Amino acid sequence: MHKNQGPVYYNDYLKLDSFLDCQQPLSRKHADPENPEAHDETLFIVVHQAYELWFKQILHDLNSVMAIFSKPQVADNEFGFIIQRLDRITKIQEMLLSYLGILETMTPMDFLEFRSLLVPASGFQSTQFREIEIKLGLNTNNRESIDREFFMGRLTEKDRDKLAALENIPSLLKLVEAWLERMPFTATNNFNFWEEYKKTITHILKGDADTIHANMANLSEADKKMQLENLRMTQENFDSLFNTEEHHKIVEAGKRKLSQKAMLNALFIALYRDEPMLAMPYQMFSAMMDIDENFTTWRYRHALLAQRMLGSKIGTGGSSGHQYLKKAADNNRVFMDLFNLSTFLVPRSQLPAIPSEVRQKLNFNA
């Protein structure tokens, strides 16, 4: 704990003289009697600056979580911090979503009063936004090349180099993957969890197949075909979890990100989330899914804002505007593997029993 070192003045502590001098509308600078300052440009600047300030806080928290995961071993007592900070990020995101509503009190015609002064500046150039994306696990190389060229091409060399360097350090997704790969529990001398799980799945899928076959008589040919095809696909999906080659193909196609081992251990956590030792890792997964969901919601909401402001005009950064943003919302998910774990869940009542030696390790045993 730090002790007071002398009187502190509020304005000095927060550096308000310089901070509150940072809102300088370009339309004020270029104002003349025929073109007065555009009233809403101040709102436009304040909202963007507020975003950047909160991005700074998100990065502060994200960096601390990544630092914990970067150690060779994650201490159990650090999970509280991890969850608290990831949760904080989700709260900030929820608030940032509401900022778009404030900005929408500016009408498209008010925006047009100063929009051309901004060209070619654009949200494309928010390096903090990109830093958050990259650190979470959205490497820009995974973007469609045309999109990547768009935003990388609009940055200064210094900013491009900074982002390129960030792409060479492991993201949160990669760090968590490595942690999951190190996780014990699923294989001990007397217990191979996955053999037990496969038996359960075979039993459930057989039940599904029996139900479909029993109802065949009432179905049209097209429905029969569709249902059997769906069943085959579900079976394939399960098989891909255990088939290293298939899993690799899915990762190569960009449909899964986690390694097979990490994916299986993540599934174990999701299935046995009620066990005390796994409750916190599962809370961490929930926070990560919330972050992903909030990010995606923001992207859609921002795409709609752009459409409301611009219709089908191109953006100040030169993209197709609404269309580009909507596609970016569809395509850029970080923790989709955690969402997709639900495909592989089974009812609690059918979970394979854990042998007592494993259960011992998963409980507080107080």
Nearer to ligand HEM, 154 or 247 (CB): 154
Site string for ligand HEM, 144-173 (x = CB under 6 A): -------x----------------------
Structure tokens at 339: 């969402």
Structure tokens at 77: 């007592």
Interaction between residue 310 and ligand HEM (CB under 6 A): yes
Q: Which of 292, 316, 354, 358 is close enough to bind ligand HEM by CB under 6 A?
A: 316
CB of 336 to ligand HEM, least distance (A): 17
174: which residues sit within 8 A by CB, 6+ positions away? 137
- How many Å is the maximal CA-CA distance in the chain? 85
The amino acid occupying position 16 is: L
Q: Give the Cα-Cα-Cα angle 73, 74, 76 (nearest 5 degrees).
A: 125
Q: Is 232 left (phi over 0), alpha (psi -120 to 50) or beta?
A: alpha
Tell me the β-bridge partners of 191: 188
Interaction between residue 328 and ligand HEM (CB under 6 A): yes
Contact 267, 194 (CB under 8 A): no
Structure tokens at 82: 């991890």
Site string for ligand HEM, 26-65 (x = CB under 6 A): ---------------------xx--x--------------
Q: Which of 309, 334, 338, 358 is close enough to bind ligand HEM by CB under 6 A?
A: 309
Nearer to ligand HEM, 110 or 181 (CB): 110
CB of 103 to ligand HEM, least distance (A): 5
Structure tokens at 283: 């809370």
Interaction between residue 306 and ligand HEM (CB under 6 A): yes
**What is the size of the binding site for ligand HEM (CB under 6 A)?**
25
Site string for ligand HEM, 109-148 (x = CB under 6 A): --x----------xxx-x--x-------------------
Q: DSSP string spanning 173-215?
A: HHHHHHHHHH--SSEETTEEHHHHHHHHHHHHHHHHHHHHHHH
CB of 50 to ligand HEM, least distance (A): 9
CB of 32 to ligand HEM, least distance (A): 24
Contact 125, 159 (CB under 8 A): yes
Give residues in contact with ligand HEM (CB under 6 A): 47-48, 51, 103, 111, 122-124, 126, 129, 151, 302, 305-306, 309-310, 315-319, 321, 324-325, 328
